[in-house]
Structure 1
Amino acid sequence: MDTRKLTDVLRATIDPTQRQQAEEQLSQIHKIIGFAPSLLQVVMLSDVDMPVRQAGVIYLKNLVSQHWADREVEPGQPLPFSIHEQDRAMIRDAIVDAVVHAPDLIRVQLAVCVSNIVKHDFPGRWTQIVDKISIYLQNPDAPGWTGALMCLYQLVKNFEYKKPEERGPLNEAMNLLFPMMYQLCVRLLPDQSEQSVLLQKQILKIYFALTQYSLPLDLISREVFSQWMEIVRAVADRPVPEQTNAVDEEDRVDLPWWKCKKWALHILHRMFERYGSPGNVTKEYKEFAEWYLKTFSAGILEVLLKILDQYRRKIYVSPRVIQQTVNYINQGVSHAFSWKFLKPHMFAIVQDVLFPILSYSQADEELWNTDPYEYIRVKFDIFEDFVSPVTAAQTLLHSSCKKRKDMLQKTMHFIMQVLTSPNADPRQKDGALHMVGTLADVLLKTKVYKEQMDDMLCQYVFPEFTSPRGHMRARACWVLHYFSEIKFKEEAVLAEAVRLTTNALLTDQDLPVKVEAAIALQMLLNAQEKAQKYVEPQIRQITLELLTIIRETENDDLTSVMQKIVCTYTEQLMPIAVEMCQHLAATFSQVLETDEGSDEKAITAMGLLNTIETLLTVMEDQPEIMAQLQPTVLQVVGHIFSQSVMEFYEEALSLVYDLTSKNISPDMWKVLELMYQVFQKDGFDYFTDMMPALHNYVTVDTPVFLLYENYVLAMFNMCKACIPSFVELVLQRLTREVKTSELRTMCLQVVIAALYYNPQLLFGTLEKLQLAVSPTESITSHFIKQWIHDTDCFLGLHDRKLCVLGLCTLVNSVVRPVAVNECAAQIIPSLILLFDGLKRAYIAKAQEGEEEEEEEDESDIDQEVLASDEDEIDETNQEYLEKLQRNKTKGSAGSPFNVTSYIQDEDTDDDSDDDYEANEETALESYTTPLDE
C-alpha cells in the first residue's frame, strides 16, 4: 500500500473540512491486506508531521484493539473482519522496534498495541518478543531501554491477575529478563538524572506488577529477593535532588524522583502486607514471612522513620510517599518483632506526624472557600481513601491505640492538652477532634473512657456547633456521627445532640456542614431509637432540605440518609411523597445529563433510583399515593428504556415490579410493551431482571393479561427464546472447570427446573447442543450422571425439593433417556438421601424459629491490647486460608466434569460443604418460587 497516499488521507482526518470524507476512505481500505503494516510505517516516518502520526497511531491502536484476534462466526452471520495473519506477523516483527524508536507521544499508543498483541498471541505466536526485549536491555545504548522496558511492562501486566499455574510462560520469559532488569537497575541507581530516574521508576513498576498478587519463589529466591529489596530500600532512602524544591508543591508530586520513591514504598508495603506478615499469609509463604520479618524489619523501618522525620521537620514529602510509609508502619504495629523497633518512636509519630496529617490544612481551607462542591466530592470519594494520607493516618492511629499498651492513654492525654489549651489554633483543635472521632469505637469499649464520653461531647464537641469557622462546625457533626452508638447517661444530652445536628442541617450557610449534619442525623437515627421523637416535629423541613442538598451536591451518601428517613417516617411523609418523588426524578435527569466523573455519577444515579424504590416500597399500602407517584416514576423508567441506559435497567425493572405488585394500570400495560421492545433490542441479557415484573403481569391481573393476545404472545416469545439459551449456557459452564460444588449445583438446578417445566423442550434442546464432552457419551447422559452423582451436594429446602421433583419427572417421563436406565440403581438411594436431608432441614428450621436472638456482646476491649512481645494473628483469616488450600481439589474425584479450585487474593469460594448446617439457606433460597409457597 502506498504510504504517501495513506499519509495524505490521515492528514485529511485532522482537517475539519475533509474529515468525514477521509474517515469514509479509511473505513473502505482498512480491511485490505497490507493496510495495518503500512499504517505502522507511516506512524514511524520522522518527516511526517506529529499530528498526522498521532492520528495514524490512534487509528492503528483502535484497529489492533478491535480486530486483532480471530472471532467466532455467529450462525447465519457474515465472517467478522480481523487483521490478516500476514499483516499480524509483520506487525509482531516490527512493533517492539517501533516502540523503542518512537517519540513519547507515539510510544504510549503503540504500547497499548503491544498489550493487545501479547494478550492474544503470547506465547503461541509471539515468543520473539522476549528475544527482542532482551537484545535491547543488553545493549549499552541507553535510548533503547525506555521502549524495551515499556514492552516488558505490557508483557508482565497481561499476567498480573492470573493464577500462579497460568503464569508459566511469563516466569519462563522472566528467567531470562529478570536478571537483566536487575543489572540495568543497579547500573542506573547512582545516576539521579531525570531520564535515569524515569527508567528506574519503570523497572519498579514492572517488579510491582510481577509480584503484587503472586510471589514466584522459584523465580525469586531469597537471595534475589534480598537484592531487589536493597534496591527498593536505596530508592526509598536517597534524598531527592535539591533543585526539586524550586518547583511549586502542587507540581512536585508529579516529578519523577517522587514518583520513583512512591513505587519503591508501594513495593515495600505490598511485600510486607502480602508475603511478610506472619499469621496473615497462606501456607506457601509461612516460612518466607518469618524470614522476611526478621531480615528486613530493622533496615526498612530505619528508612521509613527517616521519611517521617523529614515530614515532622516540615521538609516536603509527597502525599503518596507519606501514605505508603504510614501503611507499612501500621502493618508493623501488629508484630512483636517490628513493634520492638517502633515502640520508642510511636508516640512521637502520633504527635508529630499523624496529628498534623489529621488537622485541617491550608489546602483544605482553600478548597472549602473556592469550591465547596469539590470539597464535598473529595472528602466523600471512596476511591480517595485508597491513596489518602489522612485515611492511612486514621488507620495507624486506630491500630496503635487499640493493639498496643499505653498508646491509648498517652494519645488521649495529648488530645486533651490540645482541647483544653486556651491558645490552641482552630486547626489543631480540628485535628484533636478528628483523632477523638477516629478512636470512638475504641473509647466506647474501654472502661476508663466510656463513662466520660457524655461529658466530653458536651464540653468539647457541642460548643463547636456554634463556631464561627465552618470547618469546626463540620467537624462537630463528624465527631457526633462517630459517637452515635454512645449509651447516653442522660436523655437530655441525646436531645441536645439531635437539636444541634438538625439545626446545622436546616440553617447552616456552608454546604459541607449541611452534608456532615445529614449523615450524623442518619447515624443517630440508626443507633438511638429515642432520637426519632426529637426529629419528628421537623421531618418535613428536614426532608425537603435534604432533597435540595442531594440535587446540589449529587452526593451518594445522602441518598442513603434519605432512604433511612423515608423508612423511619413513612406516615409523616405521605403528604409530601409526590413532591419528594418529583425532586428525586428531576435530580436523576440532571445527573444523567452531566458527563463529568461518569463512575461517581453512576453511583449517585443508582442511589437516587434506590431512594425512589424505597419510597414506593414504604407507600405500597397507600393506593392513592401510589397512583400519584406512578406518572413521575414512569418518566424515569421511560427515560432509561427509551435512551437505552443499560447500566440502570436493573433498577428500572425493580421500579416496574413495585408499580405492578398490587394492581396494574393502563399505563403500566404500556410499559410491558416497552419491556418487550427492550428485550428484542438488547437481547435477553436482562431477562432475569425482567422476571419479577413479568411474574406480576401474569399473576396480579391475569384476566387482562389473557384478554390481549399480544401480551401472551410477547411473554411466550421471551420465555421460548430464553429457556434453551439458559440450558445451553449452564451446560457449557458445566463442561468447563467448576470451582465450587455450590456453583455446580446451581447450574444443575437450572437444567432440572427446565426439565420440571417442560421435559420435551429440554430433551429437544439437549439433542441440538453441540458441546465438547466425551466422544462416547451424549450431553444428556453426562448431565443425568452428574446430577445423580451430586445429589449429596443439594442443600437447603428449595434445592432438595427441586431435586426430588426433577428426579420424579425424569422417572415419569414418557421418552426416557438411556442414562436413566443406566443410573436406575442409584435413583432410589438418592431420593432417600434427599428426603432425609429435607426432614433434617425442616426440623432445624423449626428450631431456629424458636430461638431468641442473643444480644450483641459489648464487653470491654481492655484485654485485647497486645503485650510488647505479642503478635496480632488473624486466626480466623489464617484458618480460612489454610482450609481453602486443603480443599483445593477436594470434591473433584469421580466427577465426569473437570472440577478445580484455586486461591486468589484470599477471596475464593470454599469447595467443601462441611460447614453447611442442615437449615442453612443456599443462594437460590433467597428467591421465592412456587416450590416455596
Structure 2
Amino acid sequence: EICRQILDRPAPDSSHIEEEERPQLPWWKTKKWASHIILRMFERYGSPGNVISKEYKEFAEWFLQTFSSGLLTVLLKILDQYRSKVYVSPRVMTNTIDYIKTAVSHAFSWKMLKPHILVIIRDVIFPLMSYSDADEELWESDPVEYIRKKFDVFDDFVSPVQSAEMLLHNCCKTRKGILTQVMQIIMQIINTPNLGHKEKDGALHMVGSLAEVLLRKKIFKEQVEQLLMQYVFPEFASPHGHLRARACWVMHYFSDIKLKNPQVLEQIMRYLSNALLTDKDLPVKVEAAVSMQMFLISQDDAAPYLNNQIKEITMEVLKIIRETENEELTTVLQKIVCTYSDQLPPIAVEICQHLATTFSQVLETDENSDEKAITAMGLLSTMETLLAVMDEHPAVLASLHPIVLQVIGHVLQQNVFEFYEEAFALVCDLTSKSISPDMWKLLEIIYELFQKNGADYFVDMMPALHNYITVDTPAFLSNQNHVLAMYNMCKSILTSNNTEESECSAAKLLEVIILQCKGQIDNCIPSFVELALMRLTREVKTSELRTMCLQVVIAAIYYNPTLLLDILQNIPIPVPDSSITDHFIRQWLHDFDCFLGIHDRKLCIIGLCTLLSLGDRKPTVLSELPDKIIPTMLMVFDGLKRAYVARATEGEEEESEDESEDLEDALSSDEDDVDEMNPYYKNMAKMVQEKGAEAGFQITASIQDADSDDDDDDDDDDDEDGDELDETALEGYTTPLDDEDNPNAVDEYILFQDVMTTLPSTDPAWYTMLTRNLNASEQKQLQEVFQAANQRKEMKRSKQIEKSGGMLMAA
C-alpha cells in the first residue's frame, strides 16, 4: 500500500532539468524502488502458478485478488501519463510494463486490463518501439556505441523498449483475439499515407517482435511471406539507414519461415549480402550479418546463394568485428566457417591472423570489460572452430598452428586467467593429431603456470594433458620430466584442498598414464598407487572420487598384477585388522555398483579376471569371498550390456519436433496462463521412457518440479536405471582399452569367457569355489555372458576378414 501511494503521488515538475538527469531526482528514485518492490513481490510471491515456492501458493491467490485493482489502477495511470507526454523515468516505465505483462497471464487481472490493452499497445508500446530522437542522435554521432547499446543484453533488463516487446508478445500469444486486433493496428499504421520513417520503424519493430506467434498461427503464417515482400523488402533500399537495419532485423526473426517460392529465399540472401558488403552504415552491416547467420542456421537451402561471395563476406565480417568488437559477430563468423569450410582454406591463415590481431586489440582496451571479455572468448572459440574445420587440410593447419600458439602463449604467460579455459581448449586442438617441439615447450609453460596459480584450472587442462600422454606416447616417455610433471600436478591436486571434480580428473590422469604406458613405467607405479590410496584415507564425499582412486589401483593390476601386489604389501598405509590388499579388494567388491559407463565397468571386469587367473599368487582374501566374486561380475556385465545398448541407440534418437499447425494456447478471459513448462516436462518424460524401452530397459525415474516437496537430493539410493544412459564425465579420456577398432584390444567378455573356461583345468578347486553356489538366475546370466562373448569373437573375426579384403579362410 505504501508503494502504491508513492507511485500514485504526482512528481514535481522537472521539465526545466535535463532529461538524462531526471531519473536521479529523489522523486523518481523513490518511484523506481516502489515499482521495483511491487514487481518483485508480484513475480515471486503474488503470481499464482509462478511463485518461487509452493508454500506461497495461498499467499499468491490472496495477493492477486487483494491488490490487483489498486495497483493496476495506479500503473495504468502512469502509462496514461506517458501517452499524454508527461515525463516518466525509464526504470519506472520498465517496471510498470513488466508488472502488466505478468498480470496479463491471470484471468482475474486480465479482466481489468482487457478494456485498456489496445490503447496501451497503440499509444504506449508503439511509440516506445519506434525509432527515437535519442536513437537518431546516437546513430549519427557514434554508430559503434549505437550497436553496443542495441546488442547489450544487460541493457535489455532495464529497457522499457524490451519490456514493451515482451508485453506485446505475451498479450498476442496468450489472449484470444488480441493478435488479430494488433495486426489490424499495425496494418493501419503501416498503410498510413506519408507515414514518417520513425513510425514505420515502430510498426516493423512490432511485426518482428510477433514473428514467433505469427509463424505458428495458421491464419497468419500463410500470409507472412507476402507481408515480408510487400512491407519489409522495400526497406532494404530505404534512404534511412535505421530502416535498412530494421529490415535486416525483421528478417532475422522470420528466419524460420517456410517459404513457398524458392526465389524469395534467393532474394533475401541477396538483400542481406548486399547490405553487409555495400551499405555505408555500420549498424546495417551488423544487423545484416546476424540475420544472414540465422538464415544459414534455419534454411537448409540458403548457403549456396552466398557461395560466390563467401570470401568477401568473411573478410567483411572480420573487418566489422575489429571495428565494433561485437560478440554477436563472432558467432556469425563461426557459422560461416562451419558452413563454408570447403571454400575457406585459401584465406584461412588470413582469417586466423585477423582473429589473433583483433583478440590482442580487445585485450588492450579496458572499457566495458564484461562485454570485451565475451567478445574475446568468441574470438578464441572461432579460432577453435577454424582449426576443427581445417582438419582435412594439413598444410593449412600447419600454417595456422604458429598463429594460434602465439595467442595461447600470450594468454598463459600474461596470466590472463579469464581466458584460460578457451586457451586450454586451443592447446587440446593443437595436440589432437601430433605434438610439435613447440607444443612440448608449451607443456613446460603449462606446468609452470600450474605451480604458480593454475590448480583451479586443472579440469580445463585435462583434455590437453590427455593428448600429451596419448597422441605421441614415445615422445612423452622420452623425457622423464614429462611424466614427473604430470605426477606432480596430480599429487598437488590429490593432496591439497581441491574440489572433488579436480581430484577425479587427477586420478583419471594417473589411470590413463598407467594404461597408455603398459610395461614402460614400472618405477612410477608405486608412487601412482600410493597417491591414489592415500587419498582414500581422507574423507571422500562422492562415490565418483572413491571409484576413480580404486581404478588407479585396478589399472595397476592390469599393468602388472605381481608388481601391484608387491607394492600393496610394502605400502606404508596402516589398515586396522587387515592388510592393505585385503582392504582394497573388499572395498572394490563392495563398490562395484559405483562403476558406471562402459570404460569403468570394463576395467573392473578386466581387473577381476586378472586376479582370478593368478593361481597360487592370487591374494588370500579372494578365497574368503568366492561366493561374491562371480555374482558381482555378472551384475557389472548386466550394467555393461545396458550401457552398450544405450550408446548404440544414442545416435538414433531424434529430438521431437513441435510441428503444430496452429498455436492453440491462447487463453480466453477466464483462464490463467500458469506453469507453462509442465507440458514440456510431461512430453520429455514420455520420450525418455519410450527411448528407454527401445534400448531394453525401463525408466522409473520421473521429472520433478523444482519446487517439489520431495527433497531427496541427498539420497544415495538413486534409481540405478538412469546410470546406463550416459557415459561418465571422464569416459571421454580414452585409453588403449577403449579402442574397439584395434583387433588386439582386450575384450572384457572374451577375456572373462577364456578365464572361466581355463580355470577348470588349471585350478579346478578354485573354479568349484567360485561357481558352486550360483543360483539358477546367475547360471543363466553366466551363459548369456558366454553367448555375448561368442558373438563378439565372431564380430572380431568378421572385421578382420573385412579388413584383409575377405581373404581369411575359415579355420
TM over 0.5: yes
Q: Report whether the alignment pairs 1:442 with 2:232.
A: no
Which range moves more in the overlay, 615-624 or 657-666? 657-666
Equivalent-residue separation in structure 2 for 1:398 and 1:721 (angstroms): 54
1:691 Cα offset (Å): 2.6
Equivalent-residue separation in structure 1 for 2:668 and 2:586 (angstroms): 57
Secondary structure of the equivalent of 1:280? Answer: coil
- Map of 2:672 onto structure 1: 871
Which range moves more in the overlay, 374-383 or 704-713? 704-713
Seen in structure 2, the aligned counterparts of structure 1 residues 557 and 410 have a Cα distance that, compared at 3 Å, is same
Q: TM-score, normalised by structure 1?
A: 0.66
- Map of 1:747 onto structure 2: 545
1:821 Cα offset (Å): 11
What's the CA shift string for 1:687-706, capped at 9, x where partnerless?
Answer: 33223223323333333333
Equivalent-residue separation in structure 1 for 2:367 and 2:536 (angstroms): 39
* Paired amino acid for 2:643: A
User: What is the aligned counterpart of 1:279 among 41, 49, 52?
Assistant: 49
* Paired amino acid for 2:114: K
- Map of 1:836 onto structure 2: 638
Which range moves more in the overlay, 714-723 or 473-482? 714-723
Residues 258 and 318 of structure 1 are in contact (CA less than 8 Å); yes or no, is this contact kept in structure 2? yes
Tell which has more relative contact order, 1 or 2 (C-alpha 8 A, sep 6+): 2
Q: TM-score, normalised by structure 2?
A: 0.76
Q: Report whether the alignment pairs 1:636 with 2:407.
A: yes
What's the CA shift string for 1:539-575, capped at 9, x where partnerless?
Answer: 1110111111000100000000000001111111110
- Map of 1:152 onto structure 2: none
Residues 566 and 614 of structure 1 are in contact (CA less than 8 Å); yes or no, is this contact kept in structure 2? yes
User: What is the aligned counterpart of 2:24 among 254, 257, 280?
Assistant: 254
What's the CA shift string for 1:470-496, capped at 9, x where partnerless?
Answer: 110100000011111111111111111
Residues 753 and 806 of structure 1 are in contact (CA less than 8 Å); yes or no, is this contact kept in structure 2? no
User: What is the aligned counterpart of 1:563 among 334, 358, 363?
Assistant: 334
Equivalent-residue separation in structure 1 for 2:582 and 2:486 (angstroms): 31
1:606 Cα offset (Å): 0.7
User: What is the aligned counterpart of 1:350 among 86, 98, 121?
Assistant: 121
Q: Report whether the alignment pairs 1:311 with 2:82.
A: yes
Secondary structure of the equivalent of 1:383? Answer: helix
1:319 Cα offset (Å): 0.8
What's the CA shift string for 1:655-706, capped at 9, x where partnerless?
Answer: 1221222222232222222222222322433333223223323333333333
- Map of 2:691 onto structure 1: none
What's the CA shift string for 1:24-50, capped at 9, x where partnerless?
Answer: xxxxxxxxxxxxxxxxxxxxxxxxxxx
* Paired amino acid for 1:658: D
What's the CA shift string for 1:43-79, capped at 9, x where partnerless?
Answer: xxxxxxxxxxxxxxxxxxxxxxxxxxxxxxxxxxxxx
- Map of 1:861 onto structure 2: 662
RMSD (Å), alpha carbons: 3.6
* Paired amino acid for 2:667: L
* Paired amino acid for 1:434: H
* Paired amino acid for 1:755: V
Residues 749 and 802 of structure 1 are in contact (CA less than 8 Å); yes or no, is this contact kept in structure 2? no
1:373 Cα offset (Å): 0.9
Residues 252 and 290 of structure 2 are in contact (CA less than 8 Å); yes or no, is this contact kept in structure 1? yes
1:930 Cα offset (Å): 5.1
Seen in structure 2, the aligned counterparts of structure 1 residues 446 and 252 have a Cα distance that, compared at 3 Å, is same
Equivalent-residue separation in structure 1 for 2:670 and 2:539 (angstroms): 49
User: What is the aligned counterpart of 1:887 among 692, 697, 710?
Assistant: 710
* Paired amino acid for 1:276: G
1:234 Cα offset (Å): 1.6
Equivalent-residue separation in structure 1 for 2:574 and 2:135 (angstroms): 62
Which range moves more in the overlay, 759-768 or 431-440? 759-768
* Paired amino acid for 1:853: E
Q: How many residues align?
A: 675
Secondary structure of the equivalent of 1:572? Answer: coil
Equivalent-residue separation in structure 2 for 1:707 and 1:592 (angstroms): 38
Identity %: 59
In structure 2, the gaps of 5 or more residues are 505-533, 558-563, 682-702, 740-811
User: What is the aligned counterpart of 1:406 among 177, 184, 190?
Assistant: 177
Equivalent-residue separation in structure 1 for 2:155 and 2:289 (angstroms): 21
Seen in structure 2, the aligned counterparts of structure 1 residues 824 and 553 have a Cα distance that, compared at 3 Å, is farther
Equivalent-residue separation in structure 2 for 1:927 and 1:890 (angstroms): 28
Q: Report whether the alignment pairs 1:458 with 2:229.
A: yes
1:379 Cα offset (Å): 0.8
1:752 Cα offset (Å): 3.2
Seen in structure 2, the aligned counterparts of structure 1 residues 280 and 797 have a Cα distance that, compared at 3 Å, is farther
Seen in structure 2, the aligned counterparts of structure 1 residues 429 and 787 have a Cα distance that, compared at 3 Å, is farther
- Map of 2:158 onto structure 1: 387
Secondary structure of the equivalent of 1:684? Answer: helix
1:394 Cα offset (Å): 1.1
* Paired amino acid for 1:885: S
Seen in structure 2, the aligned counterparts of structure 1 residues 882 and 540 have a Cα distance that, compared at 3 Å, is closer
1:596 Cα offset (Å): 1.2
Equivalent-residue separation in structure 1 for 2:380 and 2:173 (angstroms): 39
Residues 642 and 724 of structure 2 are in contact (CA less than 8 Å); yes or no, is this contact kept in structure 1? yes
- Map of 1:495 onto structure 2: 266
- Map of 1:103 onto structure 2: none
* Paired amino acid for 2:659: E
Seen in structure 2, the aligned counterparts of structure 1 residues 833 and 559 have a Cα distance that, compared at 3 Å, is same
Equivalent-residue separation in structure 1 for 2:334 and 2:209 (angstroms): 26
Seen in structure 2, the aligned counterparts of structure 1 residues 549 and 780 have a Cα distance that, compared at 3 Å, is farther
* Paired amino acid for 2:253: Y
Secondary structure of the equivalent of 1:513? Answer: helix
1:347 Cα offset (Å): 1.2
* Paired amino acid for 2:644: Y
User: What is the aligned counterpart of 1:523 among 271, 294, 305?
Assistant: 294
Seen in structure 2, the aligned counterparts of structure 1 residues 691 and 840 have a Cα distance that, compared at 3 Å, is closer
- Map of 1:651 onto structure 2: 422
Alignment of 1:632-711 (within 5 A): 632-711=403-482
Which range moves more in the overlay, 458-467 or 288-297? 288-297
Residues 724 and 765 of structure 1 are in contact (CA less than 8 Å); yes or no, is this contact kept in structure 2? no
* Paired amino acid for 2:281: D
Equivalent-residue separation in structure 1 for 2:67 and 2:539 (angstroms): 43
Secondary structure of the equivalent of 1:444? Answer: helix
Residues 540 and 546 of structure 2 are in contact (CA less than 8 Å); yes or no, is this contact kept in structure 1? no
Secondary structure of the equivalent of 1:240? Answer: coil
Equivalent-residue separation in structure 2 for 1:765 and 1:426 (angstroms): 86
Equivalent-residue separation in structure 1 for 2:678 and 2:586 (angstroms): 37
1:624 Cα offset (Å): 0.7
- Map of 2:744 onto structure 1: none
Residues 283 and 882 of structure 1 are in contact (CA less than 8 Å); yes or no, is this contact kept in structure 2? no
In structure 1, the gaps of 5 or more residues are 1-229, 739-743, 896-910
1:285 Cα offset (Å): 1.5
* Paired amino acid for 1:888: D
- Map of 1:375 onto structure 2: 146
What's the CA shift string for 1:328-376, capped at 9, x where partnerless?
Answer: 1111111111111111111111111111111111111111111111111
* Paired amino acid for 2:708: Q
Residues 546 and 562 of structure 1 are in contact (CA less than 8 Å); yes or no, is this contact kept in structure 2? yes
Residues 756 and 809 of structure 1 are in contact (CA less than 8 Å); yes or no, is this contact kept in structure 2? no
Equivalent-residue separation in structure 2 for 1:236 and 1:915 (angstroms): 56
Residues 265 and 325 of structure 1 are in contact (CA less than 8 Å); yes or no, is this contact kept in structure 2? yes
What's the CA shift string for 1:106-162, capped at 9, x where partnerless?
Answer: xxxxxxxxxxxxxxxxxxxxxxxxxxxxxxxxxxxxxxxxxxxxxxxxxxxxxxxxx
Equivalent-residue separation in structure 2 for 1:537 and 1:587 (angstroms): 26
What's the CA shift string for 1:755-795, capped at 9, x where partnerless?
Answer: 3345879989998899xxxx999999999999877765665
Seen in structure 2, the aligned counterparts of structure 1 residues 442 and 783 have a Cα distance that, compared at 3 Å, is farther
Secondary structure of the equivalent of 2:456? Answer: coil
Secondary structure of the equivalent of 1:664? Answer: coil
Seen in structure 2, the aligned counterparts of structure 1 residues 707 and 448 have a Cα distance that, compared at 3 Å, is same
Equivalent-residue separation in structure 1 for 2:15 and 2:537 (angstroms): 61
* Paired amino acid for 1:861: D
Residues 555 and 607 of structure 2 are in contact (CA less than 8 Å); yes or no, is this contact kept in structure 1? no
